[in-house]
């Protein structure tokens, strides 16, 4: 180690990338790197990229272009690209953007110290392999610093589903689950440092098989950790929502009544074209079973509008499914092709038609979200407070259903878990008073 260096990480995309960025910073700490929130001060800049959204690679190249003046002003600055765009683009990033010093895929970031040393020596630093070893075996123990009340914890990576629109199997690889003993040890360590809520992460988290009882067994063991008040998990696939996990929602108080369960379309024809391997009817029936186990559960989902071949009738089937389920939150997008995926080779829906459908769907989803939030007014809910709010004396936290809740009470501090009566609703949040 040659003294303190400053590390700036810009994170794009999902919660798993947030977790990965934390682990990247920890992996580089023995080399003397400390985090900075200012790219201009950094000795090493890492872009931790996501390949899910439209034109992800081009947006990465655009961001790299914006960093060129920093590199010109400081020739000792090193710039790296990590994550899924790094995995997908590989050596092309180094060829197209010579200012980049290192490229590392999401399964290889435990090798960052070695790559950083090679980059500092002016040598090629590219690693987008899917290594045989488990990166978690090679990452240093997490530092003992205090943490905020919530944390992400990756338990599963990769996906074997091969949906026709998705790059995840190609950028994150096959499904791999971390052994339950290691997950539980990391969870205990997080709780010891102040964490009260843990969100389990995976590209297909309910396919987790690192515990004999699957994800349900892991959740039950986590719920026995003293001081861990809340457990969540994301993102799931309908085909892996087994009886044990449904039962856990009704039987484990620490498992929060919120489930993100993407369906993508309400048309069986489009679901077949997407290679989803479930039907709209089976999805709706699954939601009914989950609600029977936990009647107050809030359902969230994902929808893709304008998938190749989608007709007006297919889109109407999506609207029908949305009305049947009644979502409390949702993410919806216009289809955008990803090179290398089967759907990218198919005839595309007219963008103007897809845009109009998306606006219609989002209006319906907003109405449902507003109705769910309006019904919260006058009710009581437990809120885990996380940080100061926008106004003096205000603190914001999350309800059991993941709603942001603002409370003006100087007696409440981050980390407090308090009962709150909801008094008002806003577009994407609630307000309340302590009970």
399 located within any domain: yes
196 located within any domain: yes
15 located within any domain: yes
**Residue 330 marked ligand-binding:** no
Instruction: Give the span between the Cα atoms of 243 and 292, in whole angstroms.
Output: 12
Instruction: Give the span between the Cα atoms of 1 and 391, in whole angstroms.
Output: 43
Q: Which among 225, 256, 287 is the end of a domain?
A: 256
* Same domain as 160, residue 219: yes
Torsion of CA 240, 246, 247, 248, to 10 degrees: 90
Structure tokens given for 353: 């038609």
CATH number at residue 178: 3.30.750.210
* Same domain as 123, residue 9: yes
**Nearest-5° Cα angle at 320, 316 to 323:** 140
Q: What is the pLDDT, as a whole number, of residue 235?
A: 94
Instruction: Give the span between the Cα atoms of 333 and 359, in whole angstroms.
Output: 10
Q: For 378-414, what is each residue's pLDDT tens digit?
A: 999 999 999 999 888 899 999 999 999 999 998 999 9
* Same domain as 103, residue 75: yes
73 located within any domain: yes
Q: What is the pLDDT, as a whole number, of residue 1?
A: 43
Range of the domain at 241: 146-256
* Same domain as 157, residue 119: no
* Same domain as 97, residue 37: yes
Q: Residues 179, 185: contact at Cβ < 8 Å?
A: no
* Same domain as 123, residue 50: yes
* Same domain as 123, residue 10: yes
312 located within any domain: no
* Same domain as 34, residue 65: yes
* Same domain as 113, residue 9: yes
Q: Which residues pair with 388 in a beta bridge?
A: 395
DSSP H stretches of helix in 29-142: 56-73, 84-89, 91-96, 112-120, 135-138
* Same domain as 87, residue 21: yes
DSSP H stretches of helix in 74-179: 84-89, 91-96, 112-120, 135-138, 168-171
Q: Residues 86, 103: contact at Cβ < 8 Å?
A: yes
CATH number at residue 428: 2.40.50.140
Does this model's pTM top 0.75?
A: yes
281 located within any domain: no
Query: Which of 273, 269, 271, 272 shows the shortest CA–CA distance to 302?
Result: 271
Q: Which among 100, 127, 154 is the end of a domain?
A: 127
160 located within any domain: yes
Instruction: Give the span between the Cα atoms of 343 and 162, in whole angstroms.
Output: 11
**Helix, strand, or coil (residue 132):** coil
Q: What is the pLDDT, as a whole number, of residue 278?
A: 98
Residue recorded with tokens 């219609």 = 360
End-to-end Cα, the chain, rounded Å: 52
Instruction: Give the span between the Cα atoms of 178 and 155, in whole angstroms.
Output: 5
Task: Give every residue of the chain whose pLDDT is below 70, as ranges.
Answer: 1-2, 53-54, 131-135, 138, 140-144
* Same domain as 78, residue 153: no
- Please state the domain count of the chain: 3
Give the burial class of 144: count Cβ atoms within 10 A of its Cβ; 0-12 exposed, 13-18 middle, 19 or more buried: exposed
Instruction: Give the span between the Cα atoms of 316 and 267, in whole angstroms.
Output: 8
Neighbours of 142 (CB within 10 A): 15
Q: Which among 75, 100, 127 is the end of a domain?
A: 127
220 located within any domain: yes
* Same domain as 93, residue 185: no
């Amino acid at each position: 180690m040659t003294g303190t260096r400053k590390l700036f990480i810009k994170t794009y995309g999902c919660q798993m990338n947030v977790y990965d960025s934390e682990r990247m910073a920890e992996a580089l700490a023995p080399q003397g790197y400390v985090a900075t929130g200012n790219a201009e001060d950094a000795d090493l800049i890492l872009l931790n990229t996501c390949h899910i959204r439209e034109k992800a690679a081009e947006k990465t190249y655009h961001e790299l272009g914006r960093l060129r003046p920093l590199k010109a002003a400081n020739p000792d600055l090193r710039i790296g690209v990590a994550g899924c765009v790094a995995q997908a683009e590989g050596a092309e990033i180094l060829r197209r953007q010579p200012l980049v010093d290192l490229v590392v895929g999401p399964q290889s970031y435990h090798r960052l110290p070695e790559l950083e040393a090679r980059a500092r020596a002016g040598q090629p630093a590219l690693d987008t392999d899917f290594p045989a070893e488990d990166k978690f075996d090679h990452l240093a123990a997490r530092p003992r610093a205090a943490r905020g009340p919530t944390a992400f914890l990756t338990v599963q990576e990769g996906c074997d589903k091969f949906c026709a629109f998705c790059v995840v199997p190609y950028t994150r690889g096959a499904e791999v689950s971390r052994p339950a003993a290691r997950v539980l040890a990391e969870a205990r360590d997080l709780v010891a440092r102040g964490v009260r809520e843990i969100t389990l992460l995976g590209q297909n988290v309910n396919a987790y098989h690192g515990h004999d009882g699957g994800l349900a067994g892991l959740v039950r063991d986590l719920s026995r950790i003293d001081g861990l008040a809340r457990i969540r998990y994301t993102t799931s696939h309908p085909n892996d929502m087994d009886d044990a996990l449904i039962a856990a929602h009704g039987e484990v108080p620490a498992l929060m009544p919120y489930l993100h369960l993407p369906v993508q379309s309400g048309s069986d024809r489009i679901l077949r074209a997407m290679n989803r391997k479930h039907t709209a009817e089976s999805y709706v029936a699954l939601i009914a079973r989950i609600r029977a186990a936990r009647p107050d559960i809030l359902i969230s989902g994902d929808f893709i509008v304008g998938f190749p071949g989608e007709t007006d009738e297919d889109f109407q089937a999506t609207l029908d499914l949305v009305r049947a389920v009644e979502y409390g939150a949702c993410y919806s997008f216009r289809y955008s092709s990803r090179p290398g995926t089967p759907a990218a080779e198919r005839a595309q829906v007219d963008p103007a038609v897809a845009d109009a459908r998306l606006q219609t769907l989002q209006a319906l989803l907003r109405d449902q979200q507003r109705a769910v939030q309006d019904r919260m007014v006058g009710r009581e809910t437990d809120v885990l407070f996380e940080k100061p709010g926008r106004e003096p004396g205000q603190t914001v936290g999350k309800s059991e259903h993941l709603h942001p809740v603002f409370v003006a009470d100087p007696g409440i501090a981050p980390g407090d878990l308090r009962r709150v009566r909801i008094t008002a609703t806003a577009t994407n949040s609630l307000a309340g008073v302590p009970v």
